[in-house]
Copies of this chain bind each other. A is one copy, B any other.
Amino acid sequence: MNVLWVFAHPEPRSLNGVLRDHGVGTLRALGHRVRESDLYAMGWNPLVGPADFGHDPGDRLLVGAASEHAHAGGTLSSDIRAEQDKLAWADALVLQFPLWWHGMPAILKGWFDRVFVQGFAFGLPGARRYGDGGLAGRRALVVTTAGARPTGFLPRGIHGDAEQLLFPLLHGTLFYSGMDVLPPLVVGGADRARTADAAAAAASLDERLRDLPSAAPIPYRPEQGGDYDGDLVLHPHLAPGRSGLGVHRTVPAEDRAEPCPVR
């Protein structure tokens, strides 16, 4: 497979950096082709602004319309187009980052804000969102490290169930754009990680990377599957009497074979 590895940590000598080097090596040893977007090393600009679109700053900027128009006309700024070219090449995407304030570092959030524009990631003719879109046919794996102990990310852990905490990324971004989203790898206790912990995390990562072509994705409900009504609300006979993020899986999160975080 062609794999794009997106990395968002300022320090290559960090646990994250070690895992990235290890994981890229594993993929290559498995025969995959790997390209990398090391966002800090690239000096990636995370801020959506008029210059992305060749927009006259004297006119009011409508972000959605301007980005769609610039994409259609091939006039998006060159750094955005370079990332889109990598995505178009890739069969799978690995997103690796430290969990800061229970989400992505700003530099990675701004990669999505700028690169995933209408007409590229979504809003293509005939494609509905969630399970279909500009990136359909691709697989996505999220790998994140958390300073806190891993039990806090269990389904009833204080920080929130890891998969639901990552819902805006897993469901609201990756699945939204049509990708098959694999269960995330959450490495806890990173603030206290020693050499043995790093080795255990690397082993967990290897397992996920070996399964990258074949692992079953999270069973989110596609928009076009008939599960939602005209207002995009889940039909009452599905997950009856329940609400919250878990209802958007065809198999309830409670029935998952294993909890999410490792260590």
Contacts and interface: CB of A to CB of B under 8 A. Distances in A.
Interface of A: 10-11, 13-14, 40, 46-50, 60-64, 98, 100-107, 109-110, 112-113, 116, 130, 147, 149, 151-152, 154-161, 164-165, 167-169, 171-173, 191, 221, 223, 228, 231-234, 239, 242-248, 253-254
Given A40-B49, A64-B191, A103-B168, 10 more contacts: A10-B49, A10-B61, A101-B173, A102-B169, A105-B113, A106-B107, A152-B231, A158-B232, A160-B245, A164-B167
A157 B232 contact: yes
Contacts of A101: 109, 112-113, 116, 168-169, 172-173
10 contacts: A40-B49, A46-B46, A101-B172, A152-B233, A157-B231, A164-B167, A165-B167, A168-B168, A243-B253, A243-B254
A191 B65 CA distance: 9
A91 B40 CA distance: 35
A172 B13 contact: no
Nearest to A11: B61
A103 B165 CA distance: 12
Given A147-B64, A232-B149, A160 B165 contact: no
Contacts of A248: 158, 160
Contact of A48 (B10, B102, B157): B10
Contacts of A173: 101-102
Nearest to A154: B233
A64 B147 CA distance: 9
Nearest to A49: B10
A98 to B, nearest CB: 7
B245 A245 contact: yes
A160 B156 CA distance: 19
B11 A156 contact: no
B171 A234 contact: no
A49 to B, nearest CB: 5
A58 to B, nearest CB: 11
A106 B113 contact: yes
A147 B63 CA distance: 11
A215 B40 CA distance: 41
A100 B102 CA distance: 17
A146 to B, nearest CB: 11
